[in-house]
Amino acid sequence: MLTFTCAGLTAYLGQGCAGGLSSPEAGLPDLAVHQWRHRVLIIDTPTQQSSEYLQQSAALAAASAGLQERHVQIVTQTAKVFRVRLVGKDGGVKLDRGAPVDAPTLFALIDAMPMRRAEMSGR
């Protein structure tokens, strides 16, 4: 399993690694390469044949243009239970759900973020 490192994401949840979630508890991959460049949608799934994963994949496939416009990278990893998390460009977890998320809900959340509003206004 990949690990979530402190390097590059010391502002994780505004607390850094000392006060925030550590790798094993968070179960997040190393996202340092994405910080300030991409939002990352992490999908944990027991198998790529699970109904939840297939539902999530279909929703994301239908919304690929919107994901690209919002600089969303998708990372899938094997886990015991299905879970979807959105990590913002700043490294903070913005969404954490145990069920698939539809594109309109995901896009509304992203579009409400200050960094995304700045992107939309051309700043």
All structural domains of the chain, each given as residue ranges with its CATH number in brackets, are 34-120 (3.40.30.10)
Q: What is the pLDDT of residue 71?
A: 96
- Quick: pLDDT tens for 32-85: 888 889 999 999 999 999 999 999 999 999 999 999 999 999 999 999 999 999
pLDDT tens-digit series, residues 91-106? 999 999 999 999 999 9
How far apart CA 16 and CA 27 sit, in angstroms, is: 16
Select from 27, 24, 26, 32 the least CA-distant residue to 7: 32
DSSP code string of 37-83: T-EEEEEEES-TTSHHHHHHHHHHHHTHHHHHHTTEEEEEEE-SS-E
Per-residue pLDDT tens over the stretch 25-46 = 457 788 888 888 999 999 999 9
pTM summary value: 0.76
Query: In this predicted structure, what is the pLDDT of residue 57?
Result: 97
